[in-house]
Amino acid sequence: MVVSIRFAGSAPDIFLEFAVNKMTVRDIDVAGKRVLVRVDFNVPLDVNTGAITDDRRIRAALPTINYLLERNAKVILLSHFGRPKGKVVEDMRLTPVARRLSEILGKPVATTRDCVGQEVENAVAALKGGDVLLLENLRFHAEEEKGDDAFAKALASLGDVYVNDAFGTSHRAHASISGIARYLPAVAGFLLEKEINTLGGLLENPNHPFTALFGGAKVSDKVALLKNIMGKVNTILIGGGMAATFLRAKGYSVGASAVEDDIINIANDLIKDALKNKVNLVLPVDVVVAAKPDGSAKGQIVSVDKIPLGQMILDIGPGTITAFENELKRSKTVFWNGTMGIAEIPQFAVGTNTLAKLLATLKAKTVIGGGSTAETIAKLGLTDKITFVSTGGGASLEFLGGDQLPGVVALRDKI
């Protein structure tokens, strides 16, 4: 992917952002045209009421949608929802999303019972400039995740222009992500542009000290990213379940904690790389353990060299929280991906919640790498106090790990 670099802001808050050499919705004429917009409306629902519990992903797409509406475009939205595995699942229809989007926009949002076929073609044909239509869940068709060319062509036939504004799914070569771009003029939406610019600039020239905070269950998900940031960050803090693999690599017994045995050698290499690059890699000094990760379990704080057999690491301990806080307080740039423990269980969410609240007070550029970390930030009501919260967990990790994203590569280059 070709990038150029530009300055943003003014001293002393100057930082470099990537400016991706791809066309955006600003670069094409959309007036009166049928514009297919791939969005990521995979929002969480309350299992009991079916109500949307977090509409951030819907709101994140508003700048692109409103831009198109202001230019009298016929807006046709495409999204996946959940994991229906190629079958129609009634609980995974996009009706609640359309209802919420309609409330936010203050205008009707029409829906269809499928995303291809005669009913959809009729609905698109009936659209007038300024109308919004949300097609049904793309993943009701197995062809979507397979990247099927015929399915992509069928979707493309519904529009005149394609806009990708679904950063969170752009690391997948799905039919609606990279396939449609083979048949229509394809450009980036404002959310996609913002994600790439912000995350690209994060590694290009961050203000130092730069600290990366990692958690979550698996080291394997973050190996490429960990390797890519060596020499670019000053400090790496490791918490969450992935800390167990690093602790095992250092020779500690971690009880019943899940360890990626095939990653231990890689963890050792990363520790050596940190030393070589003069990166301060900080592991937990104490942890909260219990026999099982459920709401009835009572946690026990132990030193990492005294983890009992049959007990598993479920959160970082108070000594580790303090050590992490000290590093974060002196940071000018912070990137965080992955919770420090089982954040959905209150007694194992202390590390995650404490650090989240601290980040909201820092006079630093703070970037959250999507996923469960972003959900925690939203749940605590801290989103507005963080510099940038990515909408893409896996996509942000792959992009920062140096991978090209199929959904970005497929877009038209600027001339």
Catalytically active residues are 57, 218, 371, 394
- Rounded CA gap, 230 and 226, in Å? 6
- Cβ(396)–Cβ(194) below 8 Å: no
The two counts, helices (H) then strands (E), for the chain are 15, 17
Q: Which three-class secondary structure string do you get for the chain?
A: CCEEEEEECCCCCCEEEEEECECEHHHCCCCCCEEEEECCCCCCECCCCCCECCCHHHHHCHHHHHHHHHCCCEEEEECCCCCCCCCCCHHHCCHHHHHHHHHHHCCCCEECCCCCCHHHHHHHHCCCCCCEEECCCHHHCHHHHHCCHHHHHHHHCCCCEEEECCHHHCCCCCHHHHHHHHCCCEEECHHHHHHHHHHHHHHHCCCCCEEEEECCCCCHHHHHHHHHHCCCCCEEEECCCHHHHHHHHCCCCCCCCCCCHHHHHHHHHHHHHHHHCCCEEECCCEEEEECCCCCCCCCEEEECCCCCCCCEEEEECHHHHHHHHHHHHCCCEEEEECCCCCCCCHHHCHHHHHHHHHHCCCCCEEEECCHHHHHHHHHCCCHHHCCEECCCHHHHHHHHCCCCCHHHHCCCECC
**In the block, residue with structure tokens 């449609």:** 180
Question: Hey, what long-range contacts does 300-304 have (CB within 8 A, 24 or more apart)?
Answer: 304/247, 304/252
